[in-house]
């Protein structure tokens, strides 16, 4: 039996994020369209002889203790399955943090998938998603990935047709990290649900239809329908992010939007050449930029 496994764990963007209700448990009901992108961490899991979970990361800002979602994922499976022994989890971090790209969630999903394979647990994707949902709202999506409609807290998933070859420019203001809980709580405390402008527009059905339509015109249609309710909280508080989005929209792109609770803003480009031009136009010392394509999976062999 193998004693180690190396996996890639992909970031996600939100092509759509609508907050539809405040929930009594403090969370929010959402309609989201999530897309895996080719910006990946590498997660190496190695069996060790002592009964411990050791997390290592090349980025010193990542906590390696039991607050790390990858640690929590390992601990959950260890508690549930006595056969799961000690392990070292080494994370090579490329996905920025506090970015709205679900980097921590992607690491946790890779750990669930990796442990299942290393210890031959035989879990189905649906069982892995049940464990993932106990750890965080975005983690079930990160187990499977691709292009997905997510509702409820974000854990009820309906796969959509794969968007292959969607070309994206991902821009992260280096100094701005945003806490997801802050963004949602501010949305609630400001009563923004009551003043939603898109309530009756059925925008989510339109973007689902655009994705399902496929073909060459799909990116153009999707670009016009991008939406994120959390921009209403984050952009007024962080004018640098609003400025970055405007700068992207001034380029020849098909649409631009903040991902999740920010601080990443992305643009859809017509092709790779155009994406490189957009990237050069917005890249500064303060803004990290990646040109990436969509992926049809989120955890795969490294
Ligand atoms: O589920 P997770 O721990 O990733 O969520 C982080 C925070 O984001 C939660 O503590 C909550 O404040 C907020 N959130 C929310 N509604 C959701 C998902 C997350 O309010 N559907």
In sequence order, which residues have a C-beta less than 8 Å from that of residue 182 and are 6 or more positions away?
261
Q: What pLDDT is stored for residue 192 in this prediction?
A: 95
Average pLDDT over residues 31-38: 98
First to last CA, the chain: 19
Burial class of 241 by CB neighbour count within 10 A (0 to 12, 13 to 18, 19+): buried
Q: What pLDDT is stored for residue 284 in this prediction?
A: 97
Ligand 1 proximity of 180 Cβ (cutoff 6 Å): yes
**Nearest alpha carbon, ligand 1 atom 3:** 136
pLDDT in tens, 224-255: 999 999 999 999 999 999 999 999 999 999 99
Q: What pLDDT is stored for residue 237 in this prediction?
A: 98
**Residues with catalytic function:** 12, 138
Task: Report helix angle 239-250 to 272-282, nearest 10.
Answer: 140
196 and 204 Cβ atoms separated by less than 8 Å = no
Pairing of strands 28-47, 53-57: unpaired
Q: What pLDDT is stored for residue 171 in this prediction?
A: 98
Average pLDDT over residues 134-162: 97
Query: CA-to-CA distance for 153 and 192, rounded, in angstroms?
Result: 18
Q: Is the pLDDT of residue 1 over 90?
A: no
Average pLDDT over residues 129-151: 98
293 and 166 Cβ atoms separated by less than 8 Å = yes
CATH code reported for the domain at 167-293:
3.30.70.890
Pocket probe for ligand 1: among 16, 20, 21, 28, the residue whose CB has the most ligand atoms within 8 Å is 28
User: Model pTM?
Assistant: 0.97
- The atom of ligand 1 lying closest to the CA of 152 is 21
- For residue 260, is it left (φ>0), alpha (ψ between -120 and 50) or beta? left
Average pLDDT over residues 146-164: 97
CATH 3.30.230.10 domain residues, the chain:
4-161
Q: What pLDDT is stored for residue 196 in this prediction?
A: 82
Tokens of 287: 């803004």
Ligand 1 proximity of 28 Cβ (cutoff 6 Å): yes
Ligand 1 proximity of 179 Cβ (cutoff 6 Å): no
Q: What pLDDT is stored for residue 209 in this prediction?
A: 97
Q: Is the pLDDT of residue 197 over 90?
A: no
CATH 3.30.70.890 domain residues, the chain:
167-293
Q: What pLDDT is stored for residue 198 in this prediction?
A: 78
Residue 195 binned pLDDT confidence (cut-offs 50, 70, 90): confident
Q: Tell me the Cα Rg of the chain.
A: 19
Task: Report helix angle 103-118 to 125-135, nearest 10.
Answer: 140
Q: What pLDDT is stored for residue 186 in this prediction?
A: 98
Q: Which residues pair with 113 in a beta bridge?
A: none
pLDDT in tens, 41-71: 999 999 999 999 999 999 999 999 999 999 9
CATH C-level class of 4-161 = alpha beta
Which DSSP string corresponds to 207-263? HHHHHHH-STTHHHHHHHH-EETTHHHHHHH-HHHHHHHHHHHHSS-SEEEE-TTSS
């Amino acid at each position: 039996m193998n004693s180690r496994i190396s996996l890639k764990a992909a970031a996600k963007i939100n092509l759509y994020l609508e907050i539809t209700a405040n929930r009594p448990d403090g969370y929010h009901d959402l309609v989201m369209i999530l897309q895996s992108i080719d910006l990946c961490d590498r997660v190496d899991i190695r069996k060790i002889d002592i009964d411990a979970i050791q997390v290592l990361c090349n980025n010193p800002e990542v906590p390696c203790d039991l607050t790390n979602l990858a640690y929590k994922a390992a601990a959950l499976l260890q508690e549930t399955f006595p056969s799961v022994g000690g392990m070292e989890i080494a994370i090579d971090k490329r996905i920025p943090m506090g970015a709205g790209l679900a980097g921590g969630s992607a690491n946790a999903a890779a750990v669930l998938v990796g442990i299942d394979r290393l210890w031959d647990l035989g879990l189905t994707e649906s069982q892995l998603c049940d464990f993932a949902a106990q750890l965080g709202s975005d983690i079930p999506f990160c187990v499977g990935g691709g292009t997905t409609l997510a509702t409820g807290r974000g854990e009820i998933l309906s796969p959509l047709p794969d968007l292959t070859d969607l070309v994206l420019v991902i821009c992260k203001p280096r100094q701005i990290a945003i806490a997801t809980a802050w963004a949602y709580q501010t949305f609630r405390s400001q009563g923004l649900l009551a003043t939603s402008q898109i309530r009756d527009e059925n925008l989510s059905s339109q973007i689902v239809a655009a994705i399902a339509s496929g073909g060459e015109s799909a990116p153009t249609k999707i670009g016009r329908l991008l939406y994120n309710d959390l921009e209403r909280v984050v952009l007024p508080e962080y004018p640098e992010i609003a400025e970055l989005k405007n700068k992207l929209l001034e380029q020849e792109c098909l649409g631009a939007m903040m991902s999740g609770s920010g601080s990443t803003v992305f643009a859809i480009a017509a092709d790779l050449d155009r994406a490189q031009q957009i990237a050069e136009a917005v890249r500064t010392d303060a803004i990290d930029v990646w040109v990436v394509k969509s992926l049809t999976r989120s955890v795969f062999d490294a």
